[in-house]
Structures are given as C-alpha cells and as structure tokens.
Structure 1
Amino acid sequence: MSKTPSPCIDVCKFRRPGPAGSHCIGCSMTKEQKKISKRVKGKAREAFVALVVSQQKVMGRYDHWRGAYLKRCLKKGARAPEIVRKAG
C-alpha cells in the first residue's frame, strides 16, 4: 500500500471565506494548511485528513470531496483513512 494521499483534490481555488482566511472550494484547506499537508507524514497524515473532514462538516458544501478523494486514493493504490471510508 502507498502512503495516505494529501486531502487536496487538485481544484485549488481559494474562494470560500472562513475564520482562518480563504478556503479552497475543492478540499476546504487554506493555503497554510496546504503547505503543512506537504510536510505531514505517516499516521499524522491520517490525523490531518480527519481534521480536514471535520472542517468540511463545519463549513458545509463539501459533499463532492469524499468521492474525489476516494478516487484519488484508488488511483494511487493507497487505502483511504478510516474517517473517509466510514463517512457516507
């Protein structure tokens, strides 16, 4: 199995306002979170994905993300984190 992919689904348009600044319409991450996601490895990456999923639930309108992320995991030969597999 490959490592857990970043929560980014390659949309990268920062148009959603939020308390931490502008959020991506694809994954809900801010630019700072995207920088951090590149440095996070191993089990910490799964925890980071869980943080993003929680952020999406609070913000709303991210139903498209789960399907796109699962497809990305499949393409990379990686197992999606438990929180993503259980949701939906």
Structure 2
Amino acid sequence: MPKTPNPCIDVCKYKRQGHCIGCSMTKPQKSMFKRLKRDDHRAAFVDMLTAQQDRLGQYSAWNLAYAKKCKKKGSALPHSLRECDLD
C-alpha cells in the first residue's frame, strides 16, 4: 500500500492567521510533515490536521480534494476521512 500523501492541495496561501487557506497547515507543519517517514506517523498527522480544520472552520473543500489525491496515488484514506461524506 502506498504511503499517506502530503495533505497539501497546492493552494499555499497563508491568509488565515498563518494557516494555508487550502489545507490549514502552517509553514512549520508543512516542514514537519515532509520529515515524517513512517506511514503511521503520516496518517496520524492527517488525522490531527482534520481535527485542526474542524476547529478552525472553512476547510470543507479540502476533504474532497485530499480524497481525490489519495485515490490517484492508490493510498487508503486516513481514519478521519473515512467517515466523512465525500460526495
């Protein structure tokens, strides 16, 4: 099974108090994800990011974009997205 893809969806505009308007990551979080090698750590990071998005709000489009990215790369959806309505 391919590893969990990067949660970045190539928007990269930091206009929400230092958080990207596409994925909600901060610049330090983006750097941190790149350093994660174990897939269970990468999946846990995406679960944490999903919780962060829920707390911050305004990131509902990310779920679908990231699900498409996972499908394209042949990767399973992280736990936090398996229960989401992606249609």
Q: TM-score, normalised by structure 1?
A: 0.91
- Residue 87 (structure 1) shift: 2.2
User: What is the match of residue 21 of structure 2?
Assistant: 25
Q: Moved runs in structure 1, 4+ residues, more than 2 A?
A: none
Question: What is residue 64 of structure 1 aligned with on the other side?
Answer: 61
> 1:83 Cα shift?
1.1
Distance 1:67 1:85 in 2: 11
Unaligned runs of 5+ in 1: none
TM-score (norm 2): 0.92
1-side partners of 2:19 and 2:15: how far apart?
A: 6
Q: How many angstroms apart in 1 are the aligned matches of 2:72 and 2:84? A: 20
Q: Could you report, residue by residue, the CA deviation over 1:2-42 in whole angstroms, capped at 9, with x for unpaired residues?
A: 1101111111111111xxxx000000000000000101131
Corresponding residue for residue 79 of structure 2: 82
> Distance between the aligned counterparts of 1:30 and 1:51, measured in 2?
13
The CA RMSD measured in Å over matched residues stands at 0.8
Give distance in 2, aligned partners of 1:32 and 1:4: 19
| Cα distance between partner residues in 2 of 1:85 and 1:26 | 20
Distance in structure 2 (CA, Å) of the matches to 1:84 and 1:6:
14
Residue identity over aligned pairs, in percent, reads 52
In the alignment, structure 2 segments of 5+ residues that lack a partner are none
Separation of aligned partners in 2, 1:10 and 1:84: 19
Query: Hey, what's the Cα distance between the residues in 2 that align with 1:4 and 1:78?
Result: 6
